[in-house]
Amino acid sequence: MYADKSDKWHHTMARYLGLSEHTSFLFGILPGVCREAIGRYDYMYTKFECFNSNKTYVWSKHHADKINNGRFSNQIAYYGTAPFLWELGRVATQGDMPEPKGSLFFLPRDDQVTIRDSEYESVQKLIESAPRPITFLLPWRKCDIWKNWDKLILGGDCKIIQMKDPVTRQNTLSKTFLEHEHVYVPWPGTDIYYAEFLDKKVHVYDKLEQYRTKTMEEMERENNIVIHYLKWGYNWLTEDQRVFFEWTRKWNDIDKDIRKYLTEKMLGLDVLKSPSELHEDLMNNNFLEFGQQFVYNSEYQKSYEWLKFRIQERSPRHSYHDHPHIQLL
């Protein structure tokens, strides 16, 4: 009856809606921007088996449309704001934050079906030139940790975080983003849009070609129907995907207003709702049960107000829905 709990977003979703962290939901929650479904038919999140539910909370309109209109989809998608932002706003309104400095460094990563090549010298040079202090982010899942990261010499004035605790995971990530001026990412995924929303100095440092699909022998999990489509290695990408990701890899070459527009669409900034409004809307769409009644939380109401102001302040001047790269989505 209930969907699988998100290891990223379950607690944040429950808290924002004024519900117990032990709540079970009827719907699954997308893990991120989902590069595996950009520029192609969504073979993964259109399936009941993905979350053991026929309801999915998604962050972007283009992805909601893919799921709701998919030829073989058996899912109903609700389009809402990225849950990370609710936690970000809560942290940002909890008193004076220190002036951002240094670098948040997302290390190269593998995952369940994709692997990065063994070259590490270019990453080492980047670490040596990145402004200090540096916080290195290491994935909490064993299968996501890049197998050659331990060859890197990290140097002084740095720390490593893994965010292993699902209860505090997004709180930790929010603080880390807010504390740093520079953000280094190996691939133009979800984190690049968080960084853009916060006006960070973004550095995308890996090449798309450095990532490939794992062989059956390299996979640490059974290759089921869902895992099969969780692929974003270069050899698996469509031509449209290669064009889109190469465009976003050169992030700082994209016009600032277009970056704002793309970030707005990727993170659902245009559909931000207050906790009570979101609760009511999810209830009206049968995504919540009658007994899951809203309880006001002042911290998340302040988060909503902070986010609303920031979104209005940095809204793009124009719509770019007909931009050739954005149409690839």
3-class SS at 158? strand
For residue 168, the 8-state DSSP code is T
- pLDDT by residue (tens digit) across 223-232? 676 777 888 8
3-class SS at 114? strand
- pLDDT by residue (tens digit) across 253-281? 999 999 999 999 999 999 999 999 999 99
Mean pLDDT of 84-102: 94
| The predicted structure's pLDDT at residue 227 | 77
* Predicted confidence band of residue 215 (pLDDT cuts 50, 70, 90): confident
| The predicted structure's pLDDT at residue 264 | 95
Mean pLDDT of 275-295: 97
Q: Is pLDDT at 239 greater than 90 in this prediction? A: yes
Q: Is pLDDT at 315 greater than 80 in this prediction? A: yes
Which residue from 73, 67, 72, 71 is spatially nearest to 30, judged by alpha carbons? 67
Output the DSSP codes for 23-84: ---SSEE--SS-GGGTTS--SSTTSGGGTTSSEEEES-HHHHHHHHH-TT---EEEE---HH
| The predicted structure's pLDDT at residue 142 | 87
| The predicted structure's pLDDT at residue 221 | 66
- pLDDT by residue (tens digit) across 190-212? 999 999 999 999 999 999 999 99
Q: Is pLDDT at 52 greater than 70 in this prediction? A: yes
Cα 274 to Cα 241: distance, rounded to the nearest angstrom: 34
Q: Is pLDDT at 143 greater than 90 in this prediction? A: no
Q: Is pLDDT at 22 greater than 90 in this prediction? A: yes
Give the pTM: 0.96
Output the DSSP codes for 193-216: HHHHHTT-EEEE-S-GGGEEEPPT
Q: Could you tell me the two tokens for 264?
A: 């707005």
Domain regions of the chain by residue span: 10-87+266-328, 96-259
- pLDDT by residue (tens digit) across 101-113? 999 999 999 988 8
| The predicted structure's pLDDT at residue 223 | 62
Mean pLDDT of 19-28: 96
- pLDDT by residue (tens digit) across 119-130? 999 999 999 999
**Range with lowest mean pLDDT among 69-73, 133-137, 290-294:** 69-73
- Mean pLDDT of all residues in the chain? 94
Q: Is pLDDT at 58 greater than 90 in this prediction? A: yes
Cα 62 to Cα 95: distance, rounded to the nearest angstrom: 36
Q: Is pLDDT at 216 greater than 80 in this prediction? A: yes
* Predicted confidence band of residue 59 (pLDDT cuts 50, 70, 90): very high
In the chain, DSSP assigns E strands to 28-29, 55-58, 76-79, 103-106, 114-116, 134-137, 158-161, 182-185, 201-204, 211-213
